[in-house]
């Protein structure tokens, strides 16, 4: 909880502000693809939101695939409870790397400040939504997940099963997982019986801020090797 609260300011305010500043810098200097094209503002915003989300999806897969990055991202996955605080539980270095990736995309595309602000707003709202322990009726969940990531869909990604936590990488839109072969409809058991977290990283020792900050230095569990 402590790390989640500390990260709230960074994730919800400082990172979006840095992105907006990058957008203003690029726009003022006519840097980036969008500044070379003549696109209606609404189309530029829509394209940026899609490409922003695709980049986050790709970044997420990299954070699982590259051992050093996984050690940082693992802090997010060692949460044995699944609620709003999980969406803020990241190692500071992981947040920094993500912010740099976002900034590179913003400058490369030359996105407007409004586009960046809207993309970050959607990302933060969706992060709170899909990390919530909200239990949607199955029919509603099935309709929503044709477009967006629902709590049940993303909860599978937090399963202790390595097979399951290497699925459903999307944050906003569910179609990236469907298109790129990482979509998993349901866990092996039920949602209620889903065991969350990472083997070898359980209990109170993984919940204090000092323990979480030094966690990337610890050896991976047997299941991760």
Question: What does pLDDT average to over the chain?
Answer: 89
- What's the average model confidence in pLDDT over 14-33? 92
Residue with tokens 């409870």: 81
Per-residue pLDDT, 99: 93
Confidence of residue 224 (pLDDT cuts 50, 70, 90): low
pLDDT exceeds cutoff 50 at 225: no
pLDDT for residue 65 is more than 80: yes
**Mean pLDDT across 167-179:** 97
Q: What is the mean pLDDT of residues 146-163?
A: 95
Residue 30: the pLDDT is 94
**Residues above pLDDT 70, as percent of the chain:** 90
> For position 15, what pLDDT does the model report?
79
Highest mean pLDDT among 4-8, 79-83, 97-101: 97-101
Read off the pLDDT of each residue in 200-212 and give the average, rounded to a whole number: 77
């Amino acid at each position: 909880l402590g790390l989640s609260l500390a990260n709230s300011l960074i994730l919800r305010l400082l990172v979006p502000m840095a992105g907006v500043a990058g957008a203003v810098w690029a726009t003022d200097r006519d840097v980036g693809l969008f500044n070379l094209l003549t696109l209606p503002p609404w189309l530029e915003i829509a394209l940026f939101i899609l490409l922003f989300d695709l980049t986050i999806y790709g970044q997420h897969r990299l954070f699982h695939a590259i051992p050093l990055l996984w050690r940082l991202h693992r802090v997010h996955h060692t949460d044995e409870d699944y609620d709003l605080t999980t969406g803020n539980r990241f190692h500071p270095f992981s947040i920094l790397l993500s912010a740099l990736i976002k900034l590179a995309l913003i400058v490369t595309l030359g996105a407007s400040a409004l586009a960046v602000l809207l993309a970050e707003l959607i990302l933060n709202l969706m992060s709170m939504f899909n990390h919530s322990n909200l239990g949607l009726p199955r029919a509603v969940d099935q309709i929503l997940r044709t477009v967006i990531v629902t709590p049940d869909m993303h909860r599978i990604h937090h399963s202790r099963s390595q097979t399951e936590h290497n699925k459903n990488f999307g944050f906003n839109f569910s179609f990236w997982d469907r298109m790129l072969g990482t979509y998993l409809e349901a866990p092996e058991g039920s949602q209620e019986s889903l065991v969350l977290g990472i083997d070898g990283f359980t209990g109170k020792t993984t919940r204090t801020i000092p323990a979480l900050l030094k966690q990337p230095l610890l050896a991976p569990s047997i299941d991760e090797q």
